[in-house]
Amino acid sequence: MMRRARLIIAAVVVVAALIYVIIGGIRGAVVYYITPSELLAQAEQAREKTIRVGGRVVPGSKTWDPATQELRFRLTDGSATVAVQYHGAPPGLFTEGQGAIVEGSWDQAGVVRARSIIVKHSEEYAPPTPRP
């Protein structure tokens, strides 16, 4: 019985430690996913956190300078729009009018400094449909 009790205690300790470490780890690694409207609504809290902003790339807003590798565009969710700045070339599948998610931080000037751009693409691909 002693052995069994020891085994149970060991199991409890291991599981508790794992839960503690996982919860601690998750807290530091969660990245909130918000829309441009939500970002503007909580502009102050969002500063200095890593955020993911998702929206549609505003047609005509993309500028890219191959010499300086500066990419700028605007993301919209229909009601609010935020400016995004990124150092590097636009990723494949990045198109104006299509969905994109950027991960980065929200700076004092009100620009999202993107560290990465994730282009939404679904496995079941639908042809481009004209938007009203």
Binding site for other proteins (CB under 8 A): 3, 14, 18, 21-22, 25-26, 28-34, 50, 52, 64, 66-67, 69, 88-95, 98, 121-128
Q: Which is nearer to other proteins, 21 or 43 (CB)?
A: 21
Whichever of 66 and 108 has its CB closer to other proteins, that residue is: 66
CB 33 within 8 A of CB 101: yes
Q: 101: part of which helix (H) or strand (E)?
A: strand 99-106
Rg value, the chain, Cα: 21
For residue 53, the minimal CB distance to other proteins (Å) is 11
Backbone phi and psi for residue 63, each to the nearest 5 degrees, phi listed first: -130, 140
Closest approach of Cβ 111 to other proteins, in Å?
21
H/E element, 24: helix 2-29
Closer of 22 and 43 to other proteins (Cβ): 22
Pick between residue 8 and residue 22 the one whose CB is nearest to other proteins: 22
In whole angstroms, how close is the CB of 15 to other proteins at the nearest point? 9
Alpha-carbon distance of 70 to 87, in angstroms, equals 5
Distance CA 132, CA 130 (A): 7
Type of residue found at 22:
I
CB of 66 to other proteins, least distance (A): 5
